[in-house]
A and B are shown apart, each in its own frame.
Chain A
Amino acid sequence: MTMETAARRLTTSTLVLAAVAAFPLVEGLLPDAWHLSDQLCDVFVFALLGLALNVLTGFTGLLNLGVAAFAAIGAYTFAIATCEIYPFQLGFWGGLAATLAVGVLSGLALGAPTLRVRGDYLAIVTLGFGEIVKDVLVNLDGITKGTQGINPLPAPGILGHELGPRGQYWLLLAILVLVVVGVRSLERSRVGRAWLSIREDELASRAMGIRPDRAKMQAFAATAALAALAGALMASRLSSSGEPGNYDFQMSVLALCIVIVGGIGSVRGTLLGAAVMVGMNSVVLVKLTELVGGGDAAPPASLEGLHGLDRAWHFLGAWARNVLVSPTNWKFLLFGLALILMMVFRPQGILPPTEVHEPPPGDGESPPGAPRGASA
């Protein structure tokens, strides 16, 4: 990356950040359809989850299909650490600290035994881990309250002041920015370069003196801690741990899609991927549903006494009225088609990490910060 692109990127990032940060202030002036700060908070939280997954899957090349399990562990740790029905009651920040600690431990617990397991087999182990965590949370209902979830949870506060909706928005944004900066620095650090080199060629990186086992454990720990943080923030937004079924395979898949649609291995891509995927899910479809008018199912028309084409016509009409009018019924179809088209026409994602596709400029003059050039 040349100095110019770096500078241009910094400017773009600052402008986008300023616009996003200013959004709650101007929101009131916009028409109702643009009151989106709630949805933006969802984007922030899922961007965190995507960034978490990006460390393990994007940087280190280990496919994880159960990242929602870490989010679940985070959400339940946060809930148990803060809810008034448990003895801990650590408050919002204490809860987050506990979440990060437990997240690291759970990452190590999954990572340590599975270092030998490779490729798609590892993907299946993580998938199984996700299912086990979910089932254990459902079944240990004495502790986790089963499907009711643990609630109420304390609202985030700073110095004893509870934050309003705008404050929470800015808090989430601040946490996200912190994590982005942290992940970027991790990527450029010694351990980050070790991750990238393991992804490119584990054997070669071992020959260069990197210890793949240790680097993989660090990647597991970082991913688990960040995903747990995302889970805790989800729980805090709901003021409830939610039910264990919320942290299912679909959440893991959503996180994976965020990373891959955005551009795997790219931090900017992951942020954009979160905006696209969550936006499609909780803005576009919801707006479409409002537009059509809720999709109230009409009673099926009687087909008695109709024959031939007439019958076929009424049959189709009844079907359309029942099923096709509601855009929420189209959700998976649109989601799925978008994923397929995206992969067919732009498999590297919207914003792939540029360093991989552009050869490092000139004669090795890339600045020390350039991530991929250094490890290639």
Chain B
Amino acid sequence: MQRAIAAAEHLVPCILARAEAVPGFAADGMLSAQEVFSQQLVTGLSNGMIIALIAIGYTMVYGIIELINFAHGDLCMLGAYFALTAAGALGMEAWSGAGGAAGLVALLVATACFCGALNWSINRLAYRPLRKASKLSLLVSAIGASFVLVNLGLFWGGLPMDAFAGGTSAAAPKSFPALVSALPAAQVGDVVFSRTDLLVLCVTVPLMVGLTVLVRFTRLGKAMRAVAQNPTAAALMGIDVERVIGATFAIGGALGGFATVVYSLCNQTISFQMGYRMGMDAFIAAVLGGIGNLPGAVLGGILIGVTRSMSDQYVEARWTNTVVFGILILILVFRPSGLLGARLREKV
């Protein structure tokens, strides 16, 4: 009920807080209009890249079994809880230097593995038995899976660990340690890139390149494209369709795992309800770009991220959702299959 509002309320100030954390903002007080614009552009881009990484998980699954995987955002939420548990149990906040960097990489990889395995299992338990059922049944099953994951997040947040504030209130948002500071790290012209911005780029760009290579040039990628085009024909060519679908879920989930760690490091607050907002943004991004289309998901993610930060700056934060959804609807009305989506003719 208050889920969406709560999520939006904690997301918006976080984005604003990040902008303020860049010293140029606070110190001078006065920034030229141009500087404000480019700074918002950086913030938007870096949020957009995170959204895009999650959107890829949606679009891959949609491309292959035409399912809006409602559980994907909540999967990312559980990934954030996993990362917080690991970071808290190992006391990673105190690690510094090379150890800290190695720990961060290990945290990213471990969370990605966790999310990949979880997404694979969800597919196995909740979606695979429904291959022959209608698409609506599959959608309801995905909604069910999303509810289950939200509830698991609630339970998880009640663990009596220090990282979860002793678990006194399972439902309360948890603070995520700032393993990477938001201090400025690089400056290009007047634009300041914080360390978290660079982290986002260092994590997302190689993953997207790697995924493109995987889909274009490997056997598995070829099999994925074949199954997306025509599962029956693919099966007749000797492709193990179920294995390919499982791999798609695992890869999409793993990308979500990377994204959620970066997201948590940037925003430093996680809650068991954040999956809805994360999933919503990512899903809009996927649809905006043309669902089933990988470059489309990235383009959509960046557009959503930049639109959000621009709207926060130039319209008003409380109208940002309306602006984003309004643009989404307008684009779909005039380009019903998304920006880069193939224009499908209806088959007779």
A residues 190-215 in Cβ contact with B at 8 Å? 202-203
Interfacial chain B residues near A249, Cβ < 8 Å: 4, 276
Main secondary structure of the interface of A (DSSP, over half): helix
A315 (CB) vs chain B CBs: closest residue: B160
Interfacial chain B residues near A250, Cβ < 8 Å: 1, 3
Q: Of the candidates B5, B280, B284, B336, which one forms a contact with A118 in the assembled complex, judged by CB atoms under 8 Å apart?
A: B336
Interfacial chain A residues near B143, Cβ < 8 Å: 253, 256-257, 336, 339
B residues 297-348 in Cβ contact with A at 8 Å? 318-319, 321-322, 325-326, 328-329, 332-333, 336-338, 346, 348
Interfacial chain A residues near B125, Cβ < 8 Å: 340
* Chain A interfacial residues counted at CB < 8 A: 61
Q: Is the CB of A336 within 8 A of B332?
A: no
Interface string of A299-314 (1 = CB under 8 A from B): 1110100000000000
- Do A336 and B147 form a contact, CB below 8 Å, given A260-B140, A319-B158? yes
Q: Measured between alpha carbons, how far is A249 from B5 in the docked complex, in Å?
A: 11
Can you report 30 residue pairs joining A to B where beta carbons are below 8 Å apart? A114-B329, A117-B332, A117-B333, A121-B287, A121-B291, A121-B332, A121-B337, A125-B329, A128-B326, A128-B328, A131-B322, A138-B318, A245-B2, A246-B1, A256-B143, A257-B140, A260-B137, A315-B160, A322-B168, A323-B167, A336-B149, A336-B151, A339-B140, A339-B141, A340-B125, A342-B140, A343-B138, A343-B141, A344-B129, A347-B130
Interface string of A152-172 (1 = CB under 8 A from B): 000000000000000000000
Q: Is B179 an interface residue (CB 8 A)?
A: no
Q: Of the candidates A129, A139, A324, which one forms a contact with B329 in the assembled complex, judged by CB atoms under 8 Å apart?
A: A129
- Least CB distance, A345 to chain B, in whole angstroms: 8
Q: Is the CB of A347 within 8 A of B166?
A: no
Q: Is A332 an interface residue (CB 8 A)?
A: yes
B169 (CB) vs chain A CBs: closest residue: A297
Interface string of A101-123 (1 = CB under 8 A from B): 00000000000011011101101
Interfacial chain A residues near B5, Cβ < 8 Å: 138, 245, 248
Interfacial chain A residues near B325, Cβ < 8 Å: 128-129, 131-132
Q: Is the CB of A344 within 8 A of B4?
A: no
B residues 121-161 in Cβ contact with A at 8 Å? 125-126, 129-130, 133-134, 136-141, 143-152, 154-155, 158-160
User: Which among A139, A335, A347 has the greatest number of chain B C-beta atoms within 10 A?
Assistant: A347
A345 (CB) vs chain B CBs: closest residue: B129
- Do A344 and B167 form a contact, CB below 8 Å, given A131-B4, A332-B151, A336-B145? no
Interfacial chain B residues near A114, Cβ < 8 Å: 329, 332-333
Interfacial chain A residues near B332, Cβ < 8 Å: 114, 117, 121, 124-125
User: Which among A248, A297, A319, A343 has the greatest number of chain B C-beta atoms within 10 A?
Assistant: A343
Interfacial chain B residues near A136, Cβ < 8 Å: 322
B154 (CB) vs chain A CBs: closest residue: A329
Q: Is B170 an interface residue (CB 8 A)?
A: yes
- Do A338 and B144 form a contact, CB below 8 Å, given A322-B167, A343-B137? yes
Q: Of the candidates B141, B149, B160, B280, which one forms a contact with A319 in the assembled complex, judged by CB atoms under 8 Å apart?
A: B160
Interfacial chain B residues near A315, Cβ < 8 Å: 159-160
A residues 255-276 in Cβ contact with B at 8 Å? 256-257, 260-261, 264
Q: Measured between alpha carbons, how far is A340 from B145 in the docked complex, in Å?
A: 7
Number of A-B contacts (CB under 8 A): 176
- Least CB distance, A94 to chain B, in whole angstroms: 30
- Least CB distance, A344 to chain B, in whole angstroms: 5
Q: Is B68 an interface residue (CB 8 A)?
A: yes
A118 (CB) vs chain B CBs: closest residue: B336
Q: Measured between alpha carbons, how far is A117 from B126 in the docked complex, in Å?
A: 29
Q: Is the CB of B137 within 8 A of A128?
A: no
Interfacial chain A residues near B159, Cβ < 8 Å: 315, 319
Q: Is A18 an interface residue (CB 8 A)?
A: no
Interfacial chain A residues near B170, Cβ < 8 Å: 322-323, 329
**B positions within 8 Å CB-CB of A:** 1-5, 62, 66, 68, 125-126, 129-130, 133-134, 136-141, 143-152, 154-155, 158-160, 166-170, 276, 280, 283-284, 287, 291, 318-319, 321-322, 325-326, 328-329, 332-333, 336-338, 346, 348
A residues 222-256 in Cβ contact with B at 8 Å? 245-246, 248-250, 253, 256
Q: Is the CB of A139 within 8 A of B322?
A: yes
Q: Is A33 an interface residue (CB 8 A)?
A: no
Q: Is A30 an interface residue (CB 8 A)?
A: no
Interfacial chain B residues near A125, Cβ < 8 Å: 328-329, 332-333
Q: Measured between alpha carbons, how far is A344 from B5 in the docked complex, in Å?
A: 32
The 8 A-B pairs with the shortest beta carbon distances in the complex, nearest first, are A339-B144, A336-B147, A323-B158, A336-B148, A347-B137, A333-B151, A128-B325, A347-B133
Q: Measured between alpha carbons, how far is A206 from B28 in the docked complex, in Å?
A: 65
- Least CB distance, A159 to chain B, in whole angstroms: 37
B327 (CB) vs chain A CBs: closest residue: A128
Q: Is A330 an interface residue (CB 8 A)?
A: yes
- Least CB distance, B124 to chain A, in whole angstroms: 12
Q: Measured between alpha carbons, how far is A248 from B154 in the docked complex, in Å?
A: 20
Q: Of the candidates B155, B276, B287, B318, which one forms a contact with A124 in the assembled complex, judged by CB atoms under 8 Å apart?
A: B287
Q: Measured between alpha carbons, how far is A185 from B338 in the docked complex, in Å?
A: 38
- Do A132 and B322 form a contact, CB below 8 Å, given A330-B151, A340-B148, A347-B130? yes
Q: Is the CB of B152 within 8 A of A333?
A: yes
- Least CB distance, A266 to chain B, in whole angstroms: 13
Q: Is A3 an interface residue (CB 8 A)?
A: no
- Do A124 and B283 form a contact, CB below 8 Å, given A301-B160, A339-B141? yes
Q: Measured between alpha carbons, how far is A123 from B139 in the docked complex, in Å?
A: 11
* Given A322-B160, A336-B143, 15 more pairs with CB closer than 8 A: A116-B336, A131-B325, A203-B346, A246-B1, A248-B3, A256-B140, A264-B136, A300-B167, A315-B159, A332-B148, A332-B154, A336-B149, A338-B144, A340-B126, A343-B141
